[in-house]
Chains A and B, each alone.
Chain A
Amino acid sequence: DAMVIQNPRYQVTQFGKPVTLSCSQTLNHNVMYWYQQKSSQAPKLLFHYYDKDFNNEADTPDNFQSRRPNTSFCFLDIRSPGLGDAAMYLCATSLIQGRTDTQYFGPGTRLTVL
């Protein structure tokens, strides 16, 4: 089945220790997104890739970086995690065609910062 996969599902890191979260997709979608979601809040878009074009949201901290080495994979790097970065990180994909932007989410990675 075509799907969006995120690894790991749970990640524990120490304050200030870099961490990388990964996302892969078999949907062959041209857009990949990273969201941060905290408890009882809306998913917050951090950035997205349209093919190889990277687009950062204006309020995304510099601490967050992303890489998309190919169509299928995308990574989220948190260079120096703080306690406030503990959250669920969601990867989503979409196929931009016409007016639609239906996004499909992976299962998420729950990040804990000690």
Chain B
Amino acid sequence: QKEVEQNSGPLSVPEGAIASLNCTYSDRGSQSFFWYRQYSGKSPELIMFIYSNGDKEDGRFTAQLNKASQYVSLLIRDSQPSDSATYLCAVNRNGGFKTIFGAGTRLFVKA
């Protein structure tokens, strides 16, 4: 079992729709959770982080965390073609040095 698992996609949504990206992790001791966006050929760019169970909103993005289910998700409202990218989920145990990344979900937003 991979430490951080994501569906590789591609996930295809029409412009203006809500894109829902999911991630599961295996280490119950994980405390910090991150979502990065990575355009093709570029480096990962931090979108947001979440530490507590529940929802955290930032603009069109909402991160959701459920530690009991070891599940974290990212919702993108009013999806735009410019949101087309790979979204990486990353998990850190407790402020330590090792953050584990998933392989990412490719999102395609159709105009």
Contacts and interface: CB of A to CB of B under 8 A. Distances in A.
Interface string A90-105: 1000001111111111
B43 A42 contact: no
B43 A105 contact: yes
Contacts of B49: 100, 102
Interface string A76-87: 000000000000
Interface size class of B (residues with CB under 8 A): 20 to 34
B96 to A, nearest CB: 7
B44 A42 contact: no
A42 B104 contact: yes
B88 A101 contact: no
A27 interface: no
Interface residues of A, number: 26
B95 A42 contact: no
A105 B38 CA distance: 11
B95 A96 contact: yes
A4 B58 CA distance: 24
Contacts of A42: 4, 88, 100-104
Contacts of A101: 32, 92, 95-97, 99
Nearest to B101: A42
Contacts of A99: 31-32, 51, 94-95
Interface of B: 4, 8, 31-32, 34, 36, 41-46, 49, 51, 88, 90, 92, 94-104
Nearest 4 interchain pairs by C-beta: A99-B95, A42-B101, A108-B43, A105-B43
